[in-house]
Amino acid sequence: MYPFLKGHGTENDFVVLLDPDGTVHGDLAPERVRALCDRRAGIGADGVLRVIKTIAYAPEQAGEAEWFMDYRNADGSVSEMCGNGVRVFAQFLLASGLVTGDGEIPVATRDGLKIVYAAGDGLLQVDMGAPKLLGTTEVGLGDHRWTARHVDMGNPHAVAFVDDLDPRGSLGALLEAPWYDPALYPTGVNVEFVLARGERHLAMRVHERGSGETRSCGTGACAAMVAAADAAGQTPASVGGDLTYRVDVPGGVLAVTWTVDDRVLLTGPAVLVAEGETDL
């Protein structure tokens, strides 16, 4: 038996495992992750967040942060980054007293150091770093094809702008993984389907690699915002200030700000909902 917590950020949900020195879960086998994330026979989640000391997992980053976010997708595969997950991770550190609520919360990740801040009203903000706009590609579902913008937010995204997010339409329920060029994305890609709802206001559905369609994707919301601003011919430099977009996801609302110093800030809720023990 070992302890677990359950949390979510705009209904992108995670099993949280505290494993300070890495002795409880070892290499965190993919089959354990799949068992925990199974929505019928397990706890149910889009992924697993292991809370492990940086010195035990990534000693080269130990001088930057005490805690490392070891994130795994629901299928057990390793992921570089998770924008909703890092907020839930920080919320767990706060709730468990592993860090204080004063100032910034440093978190080591496979995409380097992330800094999380309390933003008031139960929201947390994370500095996701600089976006990378990497040209266009194509994605598809069935007979439908869309031009997509390739955006790197520490993990790969293909952002496609659509006219309709209706699950009864061309997007369906996103039960099948969208088509993409495997040569361009050899480790898979997160695909965002984005609808413009107004001035600096987007709605989005997402198929996450290793998890399928999820209720929200933090890095995907960041990628969608950057792609939308770029498509509108806007950058912080061109408008002379920070750009902030509202991004509606099925699980709630996120705010994404692209700053004049080329950082992307993601703001949203992070909620811990349950804790217990399991032998999965």
Q: Mind telling me the catalytic residues?
A: 82, 217
CA distance readout (Å), 223 to 31, 41, 65, 105 = 30, 33, 25, 23
Q: Tell which phi-psi region holds residue 10, choosing left (phi > 0), alpha (psi between -120 and 50) or beta.
A: left
Task: Tell me how long the chain is.
Answer: 280
Which residue, among 214, 211, 215, 193, has the nearest Cα to 203 in the 3D structure?
193
Report the interhelical angle of 218-231 vs 83-95 (nearest 10°): 140
Rounded Cα–Cα distance for residues 258 and 56 (Å): 34
**133: Cβ contacts below 8 Å, ≥ 6 apart:** 149, 150, 151, 226, 227, 230
CB atoms within 10 A of CB 187: 13
3-state secondary structure of 105: strand
Residue that is written with structure tokens 């989640």 in the block:
45
Instruction: Indicate the SS3 state at residue 34.
Output: helix
Q: Provide φ and ψ at 110, rounded to 5°.
A: -70, -15
Give the residue carrying structure tokens 């992108």: 12
User: Is residue 112 helix, strand or coil?
Assistant: strand
Residue 5 near residue 15 (C-beta atoms within 8 A): yes
Please count the CA atoms within 13 angstroms of the CA of 168 that sit on its side-chain side.
Answer: 0
